Structure 1
């Protein structure tokens, strides 16, 4: 019996599924304290993570859990958020996606600050909503 250690189509690197979204936050996103509501940031995090998971799975993937969500700094209306997500771990049908959120003023090239990080678990599903296998993760 031979062992094939080559990476075939059943293996994907984290970069193969990486996603970056950008969104300018508005007054409609703010809470009673005048900062952007955490739920508005979480929605963007879930969107980016779902896109990364779907790319890795080559099809639909649903959020199973938000394993960690940490807010490091407030976000304000007029901030341009950049949300970067990539699959960092896979199981038989599940994927763990790491997300990093940065903010900068929409109209300047000033400093960029990390404002949130998150880890979410997704499950790949078939047309009937049942879990299905995902490609293995190729790591360096």
Structure 2
């Protein structure tokens, strides 16, 4: 089937992507907590994979917002970076990313970071391409899907305001 014909709506679970990583000293700053930039790199990669799984074509990061660091991640902890597509427009996809850290000795887990990434799907010529709609199934997916249009409006307004600078 031609990629241009793959436009049926897809369940969120088809884009879900999880990466597990052990945090080493080289991943941390002088406070012995994980570098925010290193974590953002992991988040962007996992989000990109989720977007590509949904669109089944190449994607580019268009924006990152609501990146909230909730708790530090320490050397020796394991992080689980999870991403999935929550909502789509014509060629763009909103991807929710969350990071949970785990102390392997105590078993304590905590949500450490959340963010929303926006990706644009590209056709073989590098032009924006239409993506399938999303079918949310769980309560969390339904909630994120329902609130996505408001986040999209805020992103659009922020982008438009920057054009005036």
- Give the TM-score normalised by the residue count of structure 1: 0.88
CA-based RMSD: 1.5
- Which structure has the highest strand share of the two? 1
For 1:22 and 1:57, the matched residues in 2 are separated by 23
The answer to whether 1:33 aligns with 2:31 is yes
Q: Could you say which residue in structure 2 is the equivalent of 1:118?
A: 115
For 1:27 and 1:127, the matched residues in 2 are separated by 41
Q: Could you say which residue in structure 2 is the equivalent of 1:132?
A: 129
- 1:12-43 deviations in Å (ceiling 9; x for gaps): 01111111110111111111222111011111
Shift of 1:59: 1.5
- Which structure has the highest helix share of the two? 2
For 1:86 and 1:60, the matched residues in 2 are separated by 16
For 2:15 and 2:70, the matched residues in 1 are separated by 25
For 1:138 and 1:103, the matched residues in 2 are separated by 28
Aligned positions, number: 132
Point out 4+ residue stretches in structure 1 off by more than 4 angstroms.
none
With CA pairs under 8 Å and 6+ residues apart, which has the higher RCO, 1 or 2? 1
Q: Could you say which residue in structure 2 is the equivalent of 1:5?
A: none
Q: Could you say which residue in structure 1 is the equivalent of 2:54?
A: 56
Match of 1:76 among 65, 74, 81: 74
- Give the TM-score normalised by the residue count of structure 2: 0.76
Shift of 1:46: 0.6
SS in structure 2 opposite 1:54? helix
Structure 1 gap segments, 5+ residues each: 1-7
Structure 2 gap segments, 5+ residues each: 1-5, 138-165
For 2:132 and 2:10, the matched residues in 1 are separated by 7
